[in-house]
Structure formats: C-alpha cells, structure tokens
Amino acid sequence: MIKGTSSIEASYALARERFAAVKVDTERALEQVDRIPISMHCWQGDDVRGFENPQGALTGGISTTGNYPGRARNADELRADAEVAMAQIPGPKRFNLHAIYLEWDRPVERTDLRPEHFQRWVDWARARGIGLDFNPTLFSHPRSEEGTLSHPDPAIRRFWIDHCKACRAVSAHFGASLGTPSVMDIWIPDGSKDLPYDRFGPRRRLVEALDEILAAKLPREQHRDAVEGKLFGLGVEAYTVGSHELYLAYAATRKVMICLDTGHYHPTELVSDKISSVIDFTDGVLLHVSRPVRWDSDHVVLLDDETQALAFELVRGGVLDRVSIALDYFDASINRVAAWVIGTRNVRRALLRALLEPGARLAEAEGRRDGTARLAWLEEHKALPWGAVWDEYCQRKGVPVGSEWLEPVRAHERKILSQRGTP
C-alpha cells in the first residue's frame, strides 16, 4: 500500500496507470458516469401494490413471487426504504412512480388524478435533488380485466384515454416543479390468451386512442412520452395488442420515445442489438432494464453479458443524452431494499466499465479493417482493473465500497422491516 493512502486509493492509482497505457482517462470516465441518472422504480419496494387499494389483487399479467418480510405499506415507508437504498448507490438517481402511488385522504378514480395527489412525492424529490418519472396504471382495476385502450366498448376506452390524459398532466407537473423532464411510459396488458379472430381491430383502436391521448403538445422540458411494447405476457400469450412492431412504428411516425424493456422479447433477441436500429427514427429510447428468466419475469438486474452490452452500446454510439435509463423488476422473495441496491449498482457499474473501454483504439482498428487487433483489445479490456475504478468512485461519492452496503441494509431490516411482518 502507498504510504499515506488507503488501499482503495492505492489500487486506483495503479489502475489509473494501467488504463492510461491504453489511452483511457479514468478521471474523465468518473466525471461522465456521474452525470448519468438512473430511474429507480417505486414498485420494487411494495410489490406493485400502490396506495389506491393496496390490498387489491394484481391483474393484467402482473404478479410477484415471495413473501419476504418488510413490504412498504404506505408512501412514507416506501420513501424511507428508497432513501436507505439510495444511500448505498453512487451517482445521480431519479424515482419512477406509477399512478396508483398517489396520496390522498379519500379514494380517487384514475380518471380524476391531479398533480396535487402526488405533491408529497414532488416535495420529497425536490428535497433530495432528484427527478421523477411517471406511468399510467392500466392494470389491477375492474375496468382493465378485458382490455383497456383497445377495448371494443367505447366507454371502457374513454375511461382509459382520460386516465392517460390525466397522467400526462401529472407528469408535466413533475417536470415543471423539479426542473427536469418527466418520462411517462404507456404500457397496456391488452391481448388474448388463445387465438383471436380479429388482430386488426384492437390495434387500430389502440392507435386511435394513443393519438387522442398525445394530441395535446406538452413542453419537452417538462414531459416526454414513451410507448412500451411486449412479446407476450400472462393471459395474452397468443396475441399481444401492443406488440414491439406496433409501438416501434408508432414511435417512429409520431416521434415519441420507444421503450425497450429487456424482458419483453424472445429469449434469442438482444435489446443491445436494437438500440442502434431504432434510436434515429424515434424521439429517443427509454430503457427498462430487468432480467428475464425464460419469460418476462423481471428478476433483479445482474452485471451479466446483456446488461454490459447495453452499456457498451450507449457509450460506443454516443447516445447517452438520447436515452433514459430506468429499472423495471420486482422481487418479493428477498430483501426489497437490497434488490434495489443490487440492480441499480450493477447498471451504473456496467456504465462505468463501458466508459473505461479503449474506444479510440478499437475504432481505429476497425477503421483499418484490422479485426485481429479489435478482437484482441476487446478481450484484453475484460481483464483491466476497472473494479478498482469502481471502488474509487464509490468512495468519492460517500457510499459503501464492495459488499459493505449489505450491513446498513441488514440493519434497516432488523430495526424497521422486521417490525412490519410478512405481507
């Protein structure tokens, strides 16, 4: 160890020299990664229950597995848990809310949502210096059981159109109040478990509904619209109305953001391969980072090959300013706060590792068609001491290094979560 420095600082000094040898500036990488916000999802903390009717059953293909003690039962508990998680995660963060996470002293129908129903969230976010994102909730409601924006009944469609319009106003309020645009993502659970006769009708009704919802132009500095497709889900295995192809065409022609959720595709498809294909035709990309296991099961994000590949694509393409990064998973079988920490740290770790890639050297080799050098340097980069740079980043940001974050989370579990009991 270098005298007068900690082992982390000494390791970083050596790592900095190693990276400098391949013309990578670790200080620049640390500055860059510290400018990338990651939107943490509120629904990890309470199993997607929300506060509209927290005891209600989940529908629309939404389900959680497990009954680990300590689920947040109200917004104050959810915010307190999120703060514990945020204290273990370096770098800028946002918080992503669903419409069912409103706070009010009496029931509010989803078509009647107003900014004041989320004012405590805005006050909390302002105090923490973070932005908020938003999602209409088109599931777990009596009027969502047989479809929403594609429903053949005009009254049902009107209900959900009005809900989405109300949500856009809430989202714009978030952006205006916090000085950073809120990304609002529309996802619907509509479809058929078995073979439908008519595939055209529901999709045409969906497009008409979306056009009405998005007709009013909102300031881009306050609000951004995104649409999220899916391959299939529980109850819609044979036919998903809001497919990837439909939403991609919609986003390209209406110039809204396309949401690419890493769990919403066939197991042989890679979202990392899609970004460069779609981003130049849409108003940007919203990434929902999750981990599918055989189907869209939304497991906690790992630092696996696809998570790393996503980060490489964003950095190599120079599109970080055109992509919003959010998380989307919910695991009730483990400590929910730890699930937040593990997933968010892994996404930021992948981003830092991508920023430490010897991009100039790789681009130069590819430019002269030197596939040998390109492959060699790609492989050698895997062994460079990027972990020491990550540890330095955590130390500079005042968050635990390595697995040291686990003890504060365990302490919160012993003192707070265990008192809430099993869901």
Vertex 183, ends 275 and 346: CA angle to 5°?
60
Give CA–CA dist 423/67, Å, rounded. Answer: 6
Q: Which long-range contacts (CB under 8 A, 24 or more apart) does 264-271 make?
A: 264/228, 264/229, 264/230, 264/231, 264/288, 264/296, 265/231, 266/231, 267/292, 267/294, 270/306, 270/309, 271/306, 271/310
Number of neighbouring beta carbons within 10 Å of residue 234: 15
Say how many CA atoms lie within 13 Å of 275 toward its Cβ.
26
Rg (CA), the chain: 22
Burial track 384-405 (b if 16+ CB lie within 10 A, e otherwise)? bbbebbbbbbbbeeebbbeeeb
Structure tokens given for 185: 């993502």
> Which uninterrupted H or E stretch holds 229?
none
Which residues are annotated as catalytic?
A: 187, 228, 230, 261, 264, 288, 296, 298, 328
Q: Using an 8 Å Cβ cutoff, are 173 and 122 in contact?
A: yes
Q: Using an 8 Å Cβ cutoff, are 231 and 265 in contact?
A: yes
